[in-house]
Structure 1
Amino acid sequence: MRTSSTILLFLLLAFATLTASAHAQLPPDEMTSRNLAEPTPDWVFILDPGYPTSSIAKLDIIDGDARKMLGQLSGGYLSNFEISPDHREYYMIDTYYSRGWRGTRTDVVSIFDAKTLNFEAEVEIPPKRILIVPKRDTTAVTPDSRFMLIANMTPATSVSVVDLKARKFVGEIDTPGCVQVLAPGARQFSSMCADGSILTVQLNDAGGVKDKKQGKPFFDPNKDPVFDQPAVAGSHAYFDSYHGAIHVLDLSGAEAVPEPGWSVYASEKDKSWRPVGWQTIGYNEKRGLMFVLMHQGGEWTHKQFGTEVWIFDLTKKTRVGRIKLRTPAYSIYVSNSDSPILYTLSLLQSQLDEYAVPDGKHLGTVAQLGTPFLARGP
């Protein structure tokens, strides 16, 4: 009995010695990092607000060609994000509370280097930014990368202006009854108003108001509301409505000018389908194609998930294709490349699906994305 115990003790000591020796021979850890390349047109940026808690948002940066995660940024409560037009910086527009979900509120624009994803600086803004389920057009950056515009609602509506070059908040512009921001020009922005019109604000070089003009309503909110996240191409915005109308606005001038629109329906049979989802419309400028997320349903089913994406030729204003989705989607985005990729976000399945345009071939899936709500490209 004593001999067996001695042998067991010897074996345990020998094993411990060998294990210690093996651990001692492991090389020391070395921290490494790499820089991101210049974004390609097929990169896609996915905003996850982190539901159901929504206290820490995250931004996933994905190479759509390789379906590979390139990096992540973290934000705050119901954050939004922007990309500088020169691709040098990424921005998270954040809200924080001193006690997590309560206490003193602080709103900031967080600035990150686009190559390293390192935090660079923050600009504190008035704690007024609109806190809703993330929408793309609650913030905007002017095309010259100079000003950041942030929509506010307290419930009074206004827009905060941040000088990104000087890294400072420069002022607040009242937009009574009008919310969100589209920035088609270097010194102007447009906001959608409650009566179906557009308010256009001209800015001076300091980011203050030079002029304001509110146009006539281009849709009737009581009869056929529009989704408020249009596809924007240059100075033109394309709004889809609950009943399938496409409204086109030229935002280049001092006042928004409606242009001839059309219907997504080619026949009475099509009217069993409706535009649906959260981010419902996409655009590829190089091919002149527009994309609308659709499903079969009746009145007030506009928040359902889409099962098809319809493709339209903007020159002919006709449907030229339909893509049947493998997984029902809540948001869509289309890359602005010569061979476009359609990206669809499946909120319940926590994934991104990719389809070739125009044939609709399923290219692959990026899974485990949390609660992906918004998608956009560089």
Structure 2
Amino acid sequence: MLTVHAYAAPSATEPLAPTTIERRDVGPTEILIDIKFAGICHSDIHTARGEWGDAGWPIVVGHEIAGVVAEVGSDVSKHKVGDRVGVGCLVDSCRECDSCKQGLEQYCLNGNIGTYGGIGRDGKPTAGGYSTHIVVEEDFALRIPEGIELDEAAPLLCAGITLYSPLNHWDAGPGKKVAIIGLGGLGHMGVKIAHAMGAEVTVLSQSLKKQEDGLRLGADHYYATSDPATFEQLKGSFDLIVNTVSANLDLDAYMSLLRVDGTLVEVGAPEHPMSVKAFSLLPGRRSLAGSSIGGIPETQEMLDFCAEHGLGAEIEVISADKINEAWDRVVASDVRYRFVIDTATLG
């Protein structure tokens, strides 16, 4: 066993604090990763603060992990010591169901194992990337290509793949009009990726305060949804809308912006049930869909795509003693556009 430094949430109401956790010995098909950077995802906050249910405190969160291989098991063939690797939201799945066989481990029919808050095959709770090291199966570690800095790569393991997967699945590209709702940690990657895919990209944001950023990141158009004229002007405009916002929105209004056969894809996770009227779907044969991260093959494809197009997250690197402050700023939407922890400051 290896004792490593980490930051944990002791309960749903207490601030995160330094601690130590144990990482298991490296098995034959596993690797030990020296974590260099860990992105802060809003999911970390929802989980640790009990907003999605009992988290099993104390809990070490973090599923946007970038680092370097420090040790490999005897049967490992995909990675070697010194390789740059990443870990996203999953550290294992059944590998036997139809979804897993298709490389869709995020939809494992027998339940995948999350990077934190899950129970690993060793029977112990999984602990995430707010730590200095992690042990994972080699199949669930992604190769980070040269051309992406590790700190900018970390958020790609969640925010990047969460947007790449629906844009890829619904064929964003030349000739397609794509709208991204919200320009935050998820949305800013959606703009970058959709633009690189060749789509015509529009940002739909509550106000115009981030308009300059949106256009710089690759948006062709930027509209304020607080202006009722926006919905009149853009009616029937888009082939694909990706909603990154975790708050409950008026989905009927946004459905009206779709073209015939258009799709609105939900990647945000609002607290309350979503409501949409049948007559927002029936005219125009519109669809409302959901999408969750990506499987291992698609996540690697995303990383390679980002390296090819020079894409990384827009980040603010922080030391571990600023994590609680950063969480408060995330909740207040005061970050452009992803906090990343320098894990060298954990111990």
TM-score above 0.5: no
Structure number with the higher strand fraction is 1
Structure number with the higher helix fraction is 2
Larger-gyration structure (1/2): 1
Task: State the structure with bigger RCO (CA 8 A, min sep 6), 1 or 2.
Answer: 2
TM value normalised by structure 2: 0.28
